[in-house]
Amino acid sequence: MYDLQSQYRFLFDNMIHGAFFQDADGRLVDVNGAALELFGLSRDQFLGRTSYHPEWHVIDENGAPLLPEQHPSMVSLQSGESIRDFVAGVYHPLRQDFVWLQINSTPMFREGERKPYRVFVTLHDITGQKRTTERLAASEERYRAIVNSQFEFVDRYLPGGILTFVNDALCHYTGLPREELIGRSFYPFLHEDDRDSTIRAIESLDSSTRSICLVSRVILPDGSLNWHQWTHHAIFDQSGRIVEYQSVGRDITAQKRMELDLTASEERYRAIVNTQLDFVDRFLPGGILTFVNDALCHYTGMPREQLLGRSFYDFIHEADRRKQISLIEALTSTIRSCGQMFMPFSRTEAVAGSSGPTMPFSTRTAPW
């Protein structure tokens, strides 16, 4: 029996976790070294105290003061029930800060009695974990404050498009409260003609290509169709598996409509000039051709690809070339000085065709 008690005493004194015993009258009757270190007390300071000692400063995990009768050991003594994984902060007088503890208390009964005569309490130091959790929470708050102040849309979602976070801008834009968006896939918002290609592009992300910028049409809850541009970024776990995506987007409907209108205007312009019998071209300073109509291609006998990017000065007879270049440069200088955007002039020159003969040529030029 003595050897068994010695073994138990050895285990108690050398436990990594703190431990103590408290009697039914509230007095603390035994404690190990690990617990004394957690409390910042000597053995003499600890033994004989009760939970009502004025130098105890205990708070719950939300920072509110914990009354003596709310201490896990006292609850177990009163209720006769075990308390598991209770989190509390205990002020450490030497560190002048709170130590965070995960506390387990187990009531002890004498045979035949229904009221515990003592409670055994173990303490696990979770201060580091608690501080990390607090820093993470503070970081999350800063992150939410930043993204909720953005005019751009910000969301996070799981594979399958299931939204886990949406910022205020996106809620306001869709007209839906956050509660109706979280847990819902954004895929149904995509226009049916863009949906499959968008999903394939997102699912193609991997460790070598972690982000992608996509433009697609979306259907809003009110039925309106808009254009969006989103940059999707894949988030990986330590094993390299995608666990979540984060994306930032904006409405580009106005820009897209302008682009479509411009394309349509360009198409109309090309249709008009390509039906002209007159020759039409556009060129940069230096005579570099940027557009030629069908009539000019047919006349020169050269495909459009061979003309674009080439200076038409090369086609002007050498006897006329310097004069024509000077006229064009003078026109450019005049336009810049007077601020007019359109000032046509006429010129006559000798031009060599692709087949070689030189022919007189009359043109009307206007800078843009």
Co-location of 20 and 120 in the same domain: yes
Give the single-character DSSP code of 151: S
Stretch 340-357: mean pLDDT, rounded? 52
Instruction: Look at residue 186 in the predicted model and tell me its pLDDT.
Output: 96
Q: What is the pLDDT of residues 114-139, one digit of tens each?
A: 999 999 999 999 999 988 888 888 77
Co-location of 251 and 288 in the same domain: no
Q: What's the pTM value of the predicted model, to 2 decimals?
A: 0.46
Q: Is the pLDDT of residue 42 over 50?
A: yes
Co-location of 128 and 154 in the same domain: no
| Domain end call among 230, 256, 282 | 256
Q: Is the pLDDT of residue 342 over 50?
A: no
One-letter identity of residue 140:
E
Query: What's the first-to-final CA gap in the chain, in angstroms?
Result: 107
Residue 231 counted as domain residue: yes
Co-location of 225 and 291 in the same domain: no
Instruction: Look at residue 336 in the predicted model and tell me its pLDDT.
Output: 66
Residue 265 counted as domain residue: no
Q: What is the pLDDT of residues 189-221, one digit of tens each?
A: 999 999 999 999 999 999 899 999 999 999 999
Q: Is the pLDDT of residue 313 over 60?
A: yes
Res. 287 pLDDT band, cuts 50 70 90: confident
Instruction: Look at residue 160 in the predicted model and tell me its pLDDT.
Output: 93
Task: Please give the Cα distance from 311 to 361 (Å, whole number).
Answer: 17
Co-location of 315 and 205 in the same domain: no
Residue 137 counted as domain residue: no
Residue 32 counted as domain residue: yes
Residue 42 counted as domain residue: yes
| Domain end call among 132, 165, 198 | 132
Phi-psi region of 244 (alpha: psi -120 to 50; beta: other; left: phi over 0): beta
| Domain end call among 105, 132, 159 | 132
Count structural domains, the chain: 3
Residue 93 counted as domain residue: yes
Least confident of 97-101, 192-196, 261-265: 261-265
In the block, residue with structure tokens 């436990």: 15
Residue 223 counted as domain residue: yes
Q: Is the pLDDT of residue 159 over 70?
A: yes
Co-location of 157 and 248 in the same domain: yes
Give me the CATH number covering residue 86: 3.30.450.20
Co-location of 115 and 70 in the same domain: yes
Co-location of 190 and 162 in the same domain: yes
Helical segments of the chain, H only: 2-13, 33-39, 43-46, 72-79, 127-148, 168-174, 178-181, 192-203, 253-273, 294-300, 304-307, 318-338
177 lies in which domain range?
A: 150-256
Co-location of 293 and 211 in the same domain: no
